[in-house]
Amino acid sequence: MTMKKNAMRDELEKLRTLNQVLTVQQLQGRDALNKAKETLVFGWKDSTDGRSAIGVKLFGALDSKPFLVVSYRKYSSSEVAQEKSTQIFSLWEKELSNPTWHPFNVIEIHGEHQEVIHDDEKLLKLKKDWGDDAYNVVRTVLTELNDYNPSRRYVVPELWNYVEDKKVTLAEAIKVLLNNLQ
């Protein structure tokens, strides 16, 4: 009985060691893929001409246009409109980068727990003062930041297929590059 127990212990230790080796290999493989993807993203960003179906999309980047449009409607002076737009845009960029502001609630949808945006006072005031477009762009950015980088909240560049409106896989990007070389 003791021999069997020792053999099982030895086997368990071998399996633990194998598990550790495989985990390290998986992490190294993931790191290598992430570095390759990062290289592709930054190379693509430098060579994008605006006509390609594939480009770099910045997730979590706030668009200033909705704020500017509302400012021009609110203020008669173009100089004042631009100044106010810049102020409110900067305020919301700062707010969005603040990881302690987390206007999300966890709810159950079809048996799965999901985070959804809860309209707190800040968001409701934004909607009231600056309208639906500014409000919606802030909500979109909040969702992107929460999906891509909830703890640090910075912009994440991704290869994006603008024709199909989806993220480009590493394999798809390499295929496009190879086709462009021919």
Sequence spans of domains, the chain: 2-58+156-181, 61-148
Confidence at residue 131, expressed as pLDDT on a 0 to 100 scale? 94
For the CA atoms of 141, 147, 152, 154, the dihedral, rounded to the nearest 10 degrees, stands at -40
**What pLDDT is recorded for position 48?**
60
Q: How confident is the model over 128-138, as a mean pLDDT?
A: 95
**First-to-last CA distance in the chain?**
68
Task: Cite the beta strand spans of the chain per DSSP E.
Answer: 54-59, 104-109, 112-117, 156-161, 166-167
Find the range with the poorest average confidence among 34-38, 70-74, 120-124, 163-167.
34-38
pLDDT of residue 46: 63
- Whether this model's pTM surpasses 0.85: no
**pLDDT of the residue at 151:** 78
Q: Hey, is 175 helix, strand or coil?
A: helix
> Does the pLDDT of residue 51 top 80, yes or no?
no
112-117 and 104-109 beta bridge pairing: antiparallel
Which two structure tokens, joined as six digits, stand for 176? 């496009």
Residue 7: its H or E element: helix 2-47
- pLDDT above 90: percentage of residues in the chain: 46
Amino acid at 131: G
Q: Is the pLDDT of residue 68 over 70?
A: yes
pLDDT at 52 over 80: no
User: How far is 132 from 138, CA to CA, in rounded Å?
Assistant: 10
Average pLDDT over residues 147-157: 84
- Beta-bridge partner residues of 115: 106
What is the rounded CA–CA span in Å between residue 72 and residue 74? Answer: 6
How long a stretch of residues is the chain?
Answer: 182
CB distance 101 to 21 below 8 Å: no
